[in-house]
């Protein structure tokens, strides 16, 4: 089993998480207007499960350190299995709402608002559970991130004249998604032995096993959540399972790719949590907000033809995000 044994490597894994979590939504953007997000989402969750299983049977089962995936799964206590499963259920509901918000308000709005809130609350929740990291620097980091979120919301408000209803709807959904997203990681982290991945305490799981159980929770809950949103969509007419099976192969593969990208970030984040602590690991991973905002602004041009002062607001947002993430990184090394 591959294990991170140094803080710098843990930070690198968190940076990879940041890139993955901030980039997977590009796959949704690639099929936007051609393939409803409710249908895209089925392939997305399948991608999360498939990648998690492949990683568990490869990185999580090879080598001389730690328990292999099957052995680890067999010895896990029901309470820990349930904890990781619940984490998947909470994440799935939050992510469905976030995906809907992306469809309404765009990546450069839904991500900074939703994931920014998740970062702030998530760091607090995970630090309270396991006090690892410098609390003063963590507080400074999330304060700077909060300022970045406010600047982003202001930029959207200035640029979204004429689409006020859709904008407010997208922001409201992003807020709810962010609150839920801040909670899922604690349940997954609680199922693992964060102090010792080499010889985890009996009944607790390695990150590889926890990520698979988490993914199962995502897929099973999707039968309920996504079926409901297919019948009562946030935007557009209802869609059916028949519509899903009529989709092009390229559309399905795009969704699976999106889920695999997210799952890679999730696994690396859980692996890094052993050295960095869950508060720092989660906080850095949710720096995905910055990555997604860059994609939305620079590549998808979601703020094109906006008033001139929007550029200044977005610049301030990026500066605050970078400074906030730097403070979180330093906090973990203290």
Among 182, 178, 155, 177, CA closest to 167: 155
> Who contacts 229 (Cβ-Cβ below 8 Å, separation ≥6)?
38, 96, 100
pLDDT of residue 107: 62
pLDDT of residue 188: 96
pLDDT of residue 160: 59
Domain limits for position 94: 7-333
Among 59, 26, 28, 63, CA closest to 42: 28
Please state, rounded to an integer, the average pLDDT across all residues of the chain: 88
Among 284, 323, 275, CA closest to 132: 275
The answer to whether position 183 is within a domain reads yes
Number of domains into which the chain is organized: 1
- CA torsion angle 144 149 154 156 (round to 10): 140
pTM: 0.87
The tens digit of pLDDT for each residue in 162-214 reads: 444 556 778 888 899 999 999 999 999 999 998 888 888 999 999 999 999 99
**DSSP-assigned states of every residue in 274-325:** HHH-HHHHHHHHTTHHHHHHHIIIIIS-TTTT--THHHHHHHHHHHHHHHHH
pLDDT classification of 133: cutoffs 50, 70, 90? confident
The answer to whether position 15 is within a domain reads yes
Among 89, 27, 10, 61, CA closest to 252: 27
Tell me the sheet residues that pair with 205: 192
What tokens appear for 132 in the block? 């690892």
Judged by DSSP in three states, 198 sits in: coil
Does residue 90 or residue 66 have the better pLDDT? 90
Judged by DSSP in three states, 5 sits in: coil
Rounded to whole angstroms, the Cα distance separating 232 from 83 reads 29
Q: Residues 109, 47, 296, CA angle at the centre, nearest 5°?
A: 20
Q: Quickly tell me which residue has 């959904």 as its tokens.
A: 173
The answer to whether position 2 is within a domain reads no
The answer to whether position 306 is within a domain reads yes
The answer to whether position 54 is within a domain reads yes
What tokens appear for 141 in the block? 């980091």
The answer to whether position 1 is within a domain reads no
**Biggest CA-to-CA distance, the chain:** 61
The answer to whether position 212 is within a domain reads yes
Task: With a cut of 90, say whether residue 93 has pLDDT above it.
Answer: yes
pLDDT of residue 162: 47
The tens digit of pLDDT for each residue in 252-263 reads: 999 999 999 999
27, 257 contact by CB (below 8 A) = yes
What tokens appear for 142 in the block? 């999330």
What percentage of the chain exceeds 70 in pLDDT?
94
pLDDT of residue 302: 66
C-alpha distances out from residue 238 to 36, 100, 249, Å: 10, 14, 22
């Amino acid at each position: 089993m591959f294990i991170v044994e140094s803080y710098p490597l843990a930070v690198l894994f968190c940076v990879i998480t940041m890139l993955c979590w901030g980039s997977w939504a590009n796959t949704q953007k690639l099929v936007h207007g051609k393939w409803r997000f409710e249908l895209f989402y089925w392939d997305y969750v399948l991608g999360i499960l498939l990648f998690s299983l492949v990683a568990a049977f490869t990185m999580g089962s090879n080598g001389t350190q730690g328990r292999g995936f099957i052995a680890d799964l067999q010895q896990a206590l029901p309470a820990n299995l349930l904890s990781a499963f619940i984490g998947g259920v909470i994440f799935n509901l939050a992510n469905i709402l976030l995906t809907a918000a992306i469809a309404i308000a765009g990546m450069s709005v839904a991500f900074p608002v939703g994931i920014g809130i998740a970062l702030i609350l998530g760091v607090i929740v995970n630090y309270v559970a396991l006090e690892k990291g410098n609390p003063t620097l963590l507080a400074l980091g999330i304060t700077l991130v909060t300022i970045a979120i406010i600047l982003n919301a202001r930029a959207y408000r200035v640029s979204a004249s004429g689409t006020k209803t859709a904008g407010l709807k997208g922001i409201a959904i992003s807020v709810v998604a962010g609150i839920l997203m801040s909670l899922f990681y604690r349940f997954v982290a609680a199922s693992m032995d964060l102090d010792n991945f080499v010889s985890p305490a009996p009944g607790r799981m390695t990150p590889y096993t926890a990520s698979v159980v988490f993914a199962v929770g995502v897929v099973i809950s999707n039968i309920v959540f996504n079926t409901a949103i297919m019948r009562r969509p946030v935007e557009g007419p209802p869609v059916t399972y028949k519509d899903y099976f009529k989709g092009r192969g390229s559309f399905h593969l795009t969704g699976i790719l999106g889920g695999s990208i997210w799952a890679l970030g999730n696994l690396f984040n859980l692996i890094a949590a052993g050295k960095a602590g869950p508060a720092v690991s989660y906080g850095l991973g949710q720096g995905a907000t910055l990555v997604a905002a860059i994609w939305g602004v620079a590549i998808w041009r979601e703020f094109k033809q906006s008033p001139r002062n929007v550029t200044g607001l977005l610049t301030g947002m990026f500066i605050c995000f970078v400074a906030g993430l730097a403070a979180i990184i330093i906090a973990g090394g203290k």
